[in-house]
Amino acid sequence: MNINIFESIWTLGTNPGKAWPRFAGEVDGKEGQELFLRTFYYPLLGMVGMAVFIGAMWNFKGDTLGIDRALKDTCLQLMVMFSSYFLCSLALNKLYVRFFGQADDMARVGSFVGYAYSVYYIIVILMALFPGAFFYLKFGVLYIVYLVYEGSRYYYRLPDSKRMRFTTLTACVMAALPWGIEFVLTKLMPGLS
């Protein structure tokens, strides 16, 4: 299972044109989404949680207990990732129906968002474990734009005339939601920051 996760992320990161058609073939209604969540997204989210927890414990400096900070960081990161995935899937599904004439298919949009976020999750893992070493990876979030652009061709099979608008809309929603959710959570629960 984990080998398949890493292989999928590696293929998506190095050759999205090859990965997206394969991913498009895996989505088959509600069962396909449940399989995606169970075998890809939730284990990847668990790896992110473990990496954030270990990274916070390993790189701890301060007055409070390290486990306290590690649990807060892990809870915040998992809440942000989990809620941004589902809110992004919901929002994009509605936008795709309205602006691009796509069918109302949460399973397909959810898988698309999950796969597109997967490279970002690997960046979060690396930055959590090695906070100073990979500071330049923060710009790796921009790779989502390329993944979405390629996904519009191979996953959604959109004509070239709609691909740029699709990419702009999707990338903006996918980039803004995690930051917005984190901002709201840290304002509502100041102890998390």
pLDDT at 101 exceeding the cut of 80: yes
Residue 103, amino acid: A
Q: What is the DSSP letter of 16?
A: H
CA separation for the pair 3, 1 (Å, rounded): 5
Q: What is the mean pLDDT of residues 27-50?
A: 87
CA separation for the pair 102, 94 (Å, rounded): 9
Read off the tokens for 11.
């293929």
131 phi and psi angles, rounded to 5 deg: -60, -35
Q: How far is CA 153 from CA 103, 122, 124, in A?
A: 17, 24, 27
Using only the alpha carbons of the chain, give its radius of gyration.
Answer: 17
Domain boundaries, the chain: 2-192
42-58 and 2-14 helices, crossing angle to 10°: 90
Q: Give the end-to-end CA distance of the chain in Å, rounded to a whole number.
A: 34
* pLDDT attached to residue 182: 92
* pLDDT attached to residue 116: 94
Q: Write the DSSP assignment of 128-182 as a string of letters.
A: HHSTTTTGGGGGGGGHHHHHHHHHHHHTS---HHHHHHHHHHHHHHHHHHHHHHH
Confidence of residue 69 (pLDDT cuts 50, 70, 90): confident
User: Pick from 181, 192, 183, 187: which is nearest to 76 by CA?
Assistant: 192
Task: Spell out the residues 6+ positions from residue 185 whose beta carbon is closer than 8 angstroms to its own.
Answer: 76, 79, 80, 192
pLDDT tens-digit series, residues 8-36:
999 998 999 999 998 887 766 777 788 88
